[in-house]
Amino acid sequence: MAGDGEHRNKIDTHPHDGIRHEERDQVLAKLRAGTLKLYELEKVLTPIDAVRVRREFIAGETKTSLEKVGTFSIDIERVVQRNCENMIGAVQVPVGVAGPVVVNGEYAKGTFWLPLATTEGALVASVNRGCSAIVKAGGADVRILHDGMTRAPVFAVESIVHAKQVVDWVDTHRDELAAVAQGTTSHGRLTGIVSYVAGTSVFVRLEFDTKDAMGMNMVTIASAKIADEIAKETGARLVALSGNMCTDKKPAAINGIMGRGRSTVAGVLLSHELIAQVFKTDAPTLVEVNTRKNLVGSARAGSMGFNAHAANVVAAMFIACGQDAAHAIDGATCMTTIDLAPTGAYVAVTLPSLPVGTVGGGTGVGTQQECLKMLGVAGGGDPPGANAKKLAEIIATGVLAGELSLIGALAAQHLARAHKELGRGEKR
C-alpha cells in the first residue's frame, strides 16, 4: 500500500541524511578509539543523526544488520530526550485489537476497542471471545476501589526505642510532611503515611494522589524532601529513598493488600444460556475450574496471584498504551472469583495494583499516543485524574475478558485444541 511507505521513517531508506560522510566517518573513528562515548553523540549531532551513527557503530561492532531496528515512525527528538538513552532504533511489537467491549464504569462508559501489543499467538483471539461474552451480558461493571502511588524510604535508627520515637514523630507531623511534599509538585498530593519497623530499620510508606500521571517521578521527588525532613527532625539516618516497602516492580503482598496505583475491580453476570453458547460449558464447571486452578492451585504453589493469566492482558495493554512494562508484574496479583448465581455465574477480577497514567513517561510516544486516543484517554482528564482511572477501568475489563475466555476454554477442555488450530504449542 502506498500509505505504508509514506509513514516509514526516512532513517530506513536514507541512512545518512543530514550528515556528511566525512563527519560520520570522523565520529565513528572517535567511537572506535574510545575518545567519544556513545551517550555523547546527541551533544555533537542532531538526534536523528546520533541514532543513525550509533546504530551503524553497533552494527559494525556486533557484525549484525540492524536495518529492521532502524525502521520506525516515532518522534526521535522526543524519545531521546525523555524515554530512551543510547537509542539505535525501535523494536516493533504487533498490535492486535479485541472487541468491541462494553464497559459500565464510573469513568469508562460505553464501547471500546482494546489495543493489545503481543507476539503470543491466540492471546488477542482469546480476549476477543471474552469481550463478546461481556457484550452479550450487557457489559462489565467496573469500579476504582483505591488510588495512590507509593514510595517508602528506609531509615537506620540507633535502637528499637529510637525506632518508636521516629514512628511517633511521623504520626504527629503528617500535616507538616504533606506541606513539604506540596512544595515539590503542583499536581501530586500526599494522602497517606504508614510506618513499619524491623529492628533498627524504619520504613515510611508514603502514598500520593498523582492525578493522571502514573507518578513515580513525582512521588520520588516529593518523598526525597519528606525523607530529608524526617531525618533532620528525628536523627534517623536515611539509607535509601526506596526501601522496597513501596513495593515497585516486584511481586509483593503489601501491594495486594493495601493497593498501589489504581486498585480496580470488574465483574459480569453470565447467564446459563450465555455460558453454554459462548464457552460450551456450564456455570458449576466454571466455578470448579476457577476454585481448583486459580484459588487452590495458586495457594498450593505459593503464588501471590490467583488468576489464569491476568498479567498477559495487562502487559499487552501496557505496551500498547505507553505504560511502564515492568509494572505488568502488578497485574499478576489479580484475584479471579466466580460465584454461582440463580441465573448463571458472576465472574469478577480484582486488581489491587494497576500503576497506570495517561500523561508522562511513554504515553507521549507517537504510536502509544494513538492507542490511548483509541480509548479516549490521551492526556490529562477533566477533572484531573479521570483519564488515568478510565484507563484502569478499561484494562480491568480486558483482564476480565481474558480470564473468562481462558477459564471457559479450560472448563470445556478446549485449550489445547485452540492452540493447535492456531499452530501454537503454549501451555498455561
C-alpha cell at 256: 495486594
Summarize pLDDT for 310-329 with one digit per residue, the tens: 999 999 999 999 999 999 99
For the chain, give every residue range classified as CATH 3.90.770.10.
Answer: 95-147+262-421
Residue 358 has pLDDT above 50, yes or no: yes
17 is catalytic: no
CATH number given to 153-240? 3.30.70.420
Is 419 among the residues known to form the active site?
Answer: yes
Domain 95-147+262-421 falls in which CATH fold?
A: 3.90.770
Q: What is the pLDDT of residue 15?
A: 45
Closest CA to 50 of 39, 63, 61, 59: 39
Q: How high does pLDDT run on average in the chain?
A: 93
Report CA-CA distances (Å) from 345 to 202, 271, 402: 46, 7, 16
* Contact yes or no for 151/215 (Cβ under 8 A): no
Instruction: Please tell me the distance from the alpha carbon of residue 41 to that of residue 54, in angstroms, as a whole number.
Output: 8
Confidence of residue 419 (pLDDT cuts 50, 70, 90): low
What is the spatial distance between Cα 127 and Cα 118, in angstroms, rounded to a whole number? Answer: 12
Res. 11: pLDDT tops 50: no
Task: Look up the CATH number of domain 28-92.
Answer: 1.10.3270.10
Active-site residue (options: 42, 248, 324, 330): 324
Is the N-terminal amide bond of 342 cis, ω within 30° of 0?
no
Give the three cell numbers for residue 377.
Answer: 484517554
Q: How far apart are CA 246 and CA 250, in angstroms?
A: 10
Question: Which is the catalytic residue, given 12, 23, 75, 120?
Answer: 120
Report the largest interatomic distance among the alpha carbons of the chain, rounded to a whole angstrom.
Answer: 78
Give CATH 3.30.70.420 domain extents, the chain: 153-240
**pLDDT 10s digits, 45-69:** 999 999 999 999 999 999 999 999 9
Q: Kindly indicate the confidence band of residue 18, based on its pLDDT and cuts at 50, 70 and 90.
A: low
Instruction: Quick: pLDDT tens for 197-208.
Output: 999 999 999 999
Name the band, by pLDDT with cuts 50, 70 and 90, for residue 275. Answer: very high
**From-to residues of CATH 1.10.3270.10 in the chain:** 28-92
Task: Give the separation between CA 54 and CA 36, rounded to whole angstroms.
Answer: 11
Quote the pLDDT of residue 417. Answer: 59
Rounded Cα gap, residues 346 and 272, in angstroms: 11
Using one digit for the tens of pLDDT, what is the confidence trace for 154-173? 999 999 999 999 999 999 99
What global pTM score does this model have? 0.92
